[in-house]
Structure 1
Amino acid sequence: MTVPVAPTRDVGWLVRRWATVAPDRRFLTWAPFDQPSATWTRAEFARDVAALATAFRARGVRPGDPVALVLTNHPDFLLAWTAATSMGAVAVCLNPGSSVDELRYALGHSGSIAAVASADRADDVGTAMPDLRFLAVSGSSGDDAVATLLDTEPDQGGRLVAADAPASIQYTSGTTARPKGVVWTQANCLWAGQVGTAHQGLGPADVNLLHLPLFHTNGLSYSFLSSLWSGGEVVLMPKFSASRFWDVSVRHRATWTSVVSFCLRALADREVPDAHAYRGWGSSSCLDPAPVTGGVPVVGWFGMTETVSHPVVGGLLHRDRPGSMGRPAPEYEVAVLDDDGAPVEPGATGALHVRGRRGVSLFLEYLHDPEATARAFTPDGWLVTGDRARLEDDGTLSFVERDKDVLKVGGENVGAPEIERALLAVPGVQEAAVVGRPDPMLGEVPVAFVLPRPGAEVTADALERSCADLLTPVKRPREVRIVAALPRSTLDKVAKAELRSLLAAESADG
Structure 2
Amino acid sequence: MIEGPSTTPAALTRAAENHPDRLAIIDGDCSLTFAQLHEQVEAFASSLIASGVEAGARVAIWSPNTYHWIVAALGTHWAGGVVVPINTRYTGTEAADIIDRVHAAALVVVGDFLGTDRLDRLQESAPELQVPLIVRIPLSGTDQPKPGVTDWDEFFDVGTAASRAEADIRSAAVDAESVSDILFTSGTTGRSKGVLSAHRQLMSVAQSWAENAALTAEDNYLIINPFFHSFGYKAGFVTALLAGATVLPMAVFDVEAVMAIVSEQRISVLPGAPTIYQSILDHPRRADYDMSNLRIAVTGAAPVPVALVERMQSELSFDAVLTAYGQTEAVVATMCRIEDDPVTVSTSSGRATAGFEIRIGEHDEILLRGPNVMLGYLDDPEATAKTIDSDGWLHTGDVGVLDDRGYLDITDRLKDMYISGGFNVYPAEIEAMLLRLPGVYEAAVIGVPDERMGEVGRAYVVLGPGTDLSEEAIVSFCKDKLAGFKAPRSVQFTEALPRNASGKVLKNELREKKS
* 1:420–1:434 CA contact under 8 A, matched in 2: yes
CA shift for structure 1 position 177: 1.1
CA shift for structure 1 position 275: 4.6
Whole-Å Cα distance in 2 between the matches of residues 353 and 9 of structure 1? 26
State the percentage of identical aligned residues. 29
What is the CA deviation profile of residues 46-73 of structure 1, one whole-angstrom value per residue up to 9, with x for unaligned ones? Answer: 1111111111111111111111111011
Whole-Å Cα distance in 1 between the matches of residues 260 and 238 of structure 2? 24
Structure 1 residues 103-142: aligned runs within 5 Å: 103-119=95-111, 120-127=117-124, 128=126, 130-139=129-138, 140=143
Whole-Å Cα distance in 2 between the matches of residues 303 and 335 of structure 1? 14
CA shift for structure 1 position 338: 4.1
CA shift for structure 1 position 251: 1.0
Whole-Å Cα distance in 2 between the matches of residues 17 and 301 of structure 1? 28
Seen in structure 2, the aligned counterparts of structure 1 residues 126 and 163 have a Cα distance that, compared at 3 Å, is farther
- Of 352, 374, 397 in structure 1, the residue corresponding to residue 366 of structure 2 is 352
Q: Give the CA RMSD over aligned residues.
A: 2.1
Whole-Å Cα distance in 2 between the matches of residues 403 and 147 of structure 1? 47
- Of 294, 299, 311 in structure 2, the residue corresponding to residue 290 of structure 1 is 311
Whole-Å Cα distance in 2 between the matches of residues 394 and 81 of structure 1? 38
Instruction: Report SS of the residue matched to 2:253.
Output: coil
The residue aligned with 1:193 is: 206
The residue aligned with 2:422 is: 411
Kindly indicate whether residue 24 of structure 2 is the aligned counterpart of residue 11 of structure 1.
no
- TM-score, reference length from structure 1: 0.89
Instruction: Report SS of the residue matched to 1:20.
Output: helix
The residue aligned with 2:221 is: 208
The residue aligned with 2:68 is: 76
- Of 289, 292, 296 in structure 2, the residue corresponding to residue 276 of structure 1 is 292
Structure 1 residues 223-302: aligned runs within 5 Å: 223-270=236-283, 271=286, 273-284=289-300, 288-291=309-312, 294-296=316-318, 297-302=320-325
* 2:291–2:317 CA contact under 8 A, matched in 1: no
What is the CA deviation profile of residues 413-451 of structure 1, one whole-angstrom value per residue up to 9, with x for unaligned ones? Answer: 011011111110011222100001101121100011111
Whole-Å Cα distance in 1 between the matches of residues 402 and 98 of structure 2? 38
- Of 289, 311, 314 in structure 1, the residue corresponding to residue 336 of structure 2 is 314
The residue aligned with 1:144 is: 150
Kindly indicate whether residue 355 of structure 2 is the aligned counterpart of residue 331 of structure 1.
yes
What is the CA deviation profile of residues 266-287 of structure 1, one whole-angstrom value per residue up to 9, with x for unaligned ones? Answer: 3330225455311110012675
Number of matched pairs: 479
CA shift for structure 1 position 295: 3.2
For structure 1, list consecutive stretches of 5 or more residues without a partner in the other structure: 1-5, 32-36, 340-349
Whole-Å Cα distance in 2 between the matches of residues 63 and 26 of structure 1? 30
* 1:450–1:480 CA contact under 8 A, matched in 2: yes
Kindly indicate whether residue 91 of structure 2 is the aligned counterpart of residue 99 of structure 1.
yes
The residue aligned with 2:114 is: none
- Of 490, 498, 502 in structure 2, the residue corresponding to residue 487 of structure 1 is 498
CA shift for structure 1 position 217: 0.7
- Of 232, 242, 249 in structure 2, the residue corresponding to residue 219 of structure 1 is 232
Runs of 4+ in 1 over 6 A off after TM superposition: none
Whole-Å Cα distance in 2 between the matches of residues 279 and 446 of structure 1? 35
Instruction: Report SS of the residue matched to 2:87.
Output: coil
One-letter code aligned to 1:167: S
Structure 1 residues 54-93: aligned runs within 5 Å: 54-93=46-85
* 2:458–2:491 CA contact under 8 A, matched in 1: yes
Instruction: Report SS of the residue matched to 2:428.
Output: helix
- TM-score, reference length from structure 2: 0.88
For structure 2, list consecutive stretches of 5 or more residues without a partner in the other structure: 112-116
* 1:212–1:239 CA contact under 8 A, matched in 2: no
What is the CA deviation profile of residues 371-393 of structure 1, one whole-angstrom value per residue up to 9, with x for unaligned ones? Answer: 11111112211111111112235
Instruction: Report SS of the residue matched to 1:474.
Output: coil
CA shift for structure 1 position 18: 1.3
What is the CA deviation profile of residues 127-186 of structure 1, one whole-angstrom value per residue up to 9, with x for unaligned ones? Answer: 436311021100157671112223455713133213222121111123121111111212
- Of 377, 389, 397 in structure 1, the residue corresponding to residue 408 of structure 2 is 397
Whole-Å Cα distance in 1 between the matches of residues 323 and 93 of structure 2? 36
